[in-house]
A and B are shown apart, each in its own frame.
Chain A
Amino acid sequence: MGTAAGPGNLAGVRHILLVLSGKGGVGKSTISTELALALRHAGKKVGILDVDLCGPSIPRMLRAQGRAVHQCDGGWVPVFVDQEQSISLMSVGFLLENPDEALVWRGPKKNALIKQFVSDVAWGQLDYLVVDTPPGTSDEHMATVDALRPYSPLGALVVTTPQAVSVGDVRRELTFCRKTGLQVLGVVENMSGFVCPHCAECTNVFSRGGGEELATLAGVPFLGSVPLDPELCGSLEEGRDFIRDFPKSSAFPALFSIAQKVLSQAPARLS
């Protein structure tokens, strides 16, 4: 499939970030997408690598479903989701003929595709590559970390919801990071309270406190809590730019602050 690509394809990428969680459905893809949009608004060139092979959510979130992937000398050309070509995306979603088709693959086949995604996509010059992962601590995660190791990723953002059930799984993900030598930039607590649009009462729909508790337990920074905002969900469903369209949303300050914290990590490293 891809051409034999040397270190060239990731050489132009300044910083690599992984977005992980032990738990499913906490908002990894949402946070990955919103982080990419926020970094773009800060003037950065961003790539997103979606290594969730069974549930590739990101093409829809950026209104890029059905786009074709082209080849060039360096390998696969990532799909640009905007006219200015400031956000590019690679996902298995683009390679499926029928979007409802299930990718029923066992580990070794998934590993092979992930290695190709890491080495055979011609990203070009990027300030940030955000890598969105599926839930768990298995084939995809090991393959991704192994393939990215030579490029010294900046680190991982670990996402949880406030519930103890989520924290229970995410603790294991933090162990995975430790064991594989992946630095944890911090914990993001998502779905942190819902403000009723009728009466402004805030309800902790998915319990409270888990994110900070987890960060303290693991000795890593707590990057912030993002509240539940149906506008954010709606925006993602329709592939709109939430950061641009909803600066007054309750979720906006948290997302913006998380992006700022990520940006502040970068100058400490040599590119």
Chain B
Amino acid sequence: MEEVPQGCPGTGSAQAGRGASCQGCPNQRLCASGAGAAPDPAIEEIKEKMKTVKHKILVLSGKGGVGKSTFSAHLAHGLAEDENTQVALLDIDICGPSIPKIMGLEGEQVHQSGSGWSPVFVEDNLGVMSVGFLLSSPDDAVIWRGPKKNGMIKQFLRDVDWGEVDYLIVDTPPGTSDEHLSAVQYLSSTHIDGAVIITTPQEVSLQDVRKEINFCHKVKLPIIGVVENMSGFICPKCKKESQIFPPTTGGAEVMCQNLKIPLLGKVPLDPHIGKSCDKGQSFLIDAPDSPATLAYRSIIQRIQEFCGRHLPEEGHLISS
């Protein structure tokens, strides 16, 4: 995943760090010390922990501000509307943890129990974890470098007592860096159902999203599909449609056709979405008849269908 020299013998090989092609590789010393050969024990611990989690979905985008957290929150709300479905929402955006606000949980704190950290519950069947709950003030900045962020993500996956969960949704920050690599790495011995990738119609967003799709291919993360957010705006006064973020290169539809990836749906811009998020309420409940709500519900259903076709853990793929 990281750039390796040509002819890299592999971090687990006997030649690791000692081969001719290892010269100049930044990991040379680490490999030569034998540390590279031993996998992080946390990966096994996380595998154990994740045995009670049926489906895992990552919500990604290369681009910032396209609505990942908004979507993750509403995916969680939508799934949790069925009382018999246990939903968990994990926010691994360490620097910009928006989920507590969007879920109406600002100011909540995390409690420890004998079995680990307890998630904060919005409903009986919807639990949330975010670094936001570990900060004492809304002005506190998490000014951490990569390794410390990775450590936090490891703790979230290993130490949170999620219990029996049907869906674990992981909200990510923008980019293709530490947080994304760590999430995939730590979950590597479990089965991740796939990634939902969020974009807006603009090329400046699609540009980054193509990179994210490449990242998924690189780390062998299945892609459930793409959601085009902020897709058109209906004026509340004259009801005519405008494109605030024009799809100058055909939007997600053309990109998905070209890359042969499913387009799960398009969500229009509704000013009520922002307001609901600011108030920490579910937009699906606040505005049940909005075209945006209908779009969300359709997308959520398609995601459930995808997950239903792929059995968790030791199961086999029925169809892909």
Decide whether A and B are members of one complex. yes
B interface: dominant SS: loop
A165 CA to B173 CA in the complex, in Å? 14
Say whether A172 contacts B65, CB under 8 Å: no
Say whether A179 contacts B202, CB under 8 Å: no
**Counting CB contacts under 8 A, is B174 at the interface?**
yes
Say whether B177 contacts A172, CB under 8 Å: no
Please tell me the size bucket of the interface on A.
35 or more
Say whether B181 contacts A60, CB under 8 Å: no
A174 CA to B138 CA in the complex, in Å? 11
Interface locus among B13-21, B47-55, B74-82, B205-213: B205-213
Interface locus among A40-48, A124-132, A197-205: A197-205
**Counting CB contacts under 8 A, is A80 at the interface?**
no
Q: Known contacts A106-B2, A138-B149, A163-B274: does B235 contact A172 (CB below 8 Å)?
A: no
Chain B contacts to A: CB under 8 angstroms? 1-3, 26, 62-66, 69, 94-96, 98, 101-102, 138-147, 149, 173-178, 180-181, 202-204, 207-208, 210-215, 218, 233, 235-238, 240, 242-246, 248-249, 269, 271, 274-275, 277-278
Say whether A142 contacts B202, CB under 8 Å: no
Which of A25, A139, A198 is most buried by chain B, counting CB atoms within 10 A of its CB? A25
Say whether A139 contacts B2, CB under 8 Å: no
Say whether B96 contacts A135, CB under 8 Å: yes
**Counting CB contacts under 8 A, is A75 at the interface?**
no
* Residue in contact with B140 in the complex, picked from A25, A26, A175, A201, CB distance below 8 Å: A175
Say whether B95 contacts A100, CB under 8 Å: no
Contacts A104-B2, A171-B138, A201-B235 known; list 9 others, CB within 8 Å.
Answer: A24-B96, A55-B63, A57-B208, A104-B177, A106-B2, A138-B145, A142-B145, A165-B69, A172-B141
Task: Output the least CB separation between B220 and chain A (Å).
Answer: 13
A206 CA to B270 CA in the complex, in Å? 9
Q: Known contacts A169-B96, A201-B238: does B211 contact A237 (CB below 8 Å)?
A: no
Cβ contacts under 8 Å, B145 to chain A: 107, 138-139, 142
A40 CA to B203 CA in the complex, in Å? 25
Provide a sorted-by-A list of 15 A–B residue pairs whose CB atoms are within 8 angstroms: A25-B63, A26-B64, A55-B208, A57-B207, A109-B26, A135-B65, A135-B174, A136-B173, A139-B145, A161-B65, A165-B101, A194-B244, A198-B238, A230-B245, A237-B204
Query: From A180, which residue of chain B is reached at the shortest CB distance?
Result: B143
Task: Output the least CB separation between A121 and chain B (Å).
Answer: 22
Interface residues of A in 108-153 (CB under 8 A from B): 108-110, 134-139, 141-142
A203 CA to B96 CA in the complex, in Å? 27
A61 CA to B203 CA in the complex, in Å? 10
A103 CA to B238 CA in the complex, in Å? 44
Q: Known contacts A139-B146, A199-B240: does B271 contact A172 (CB below 8 Å)?
A: no
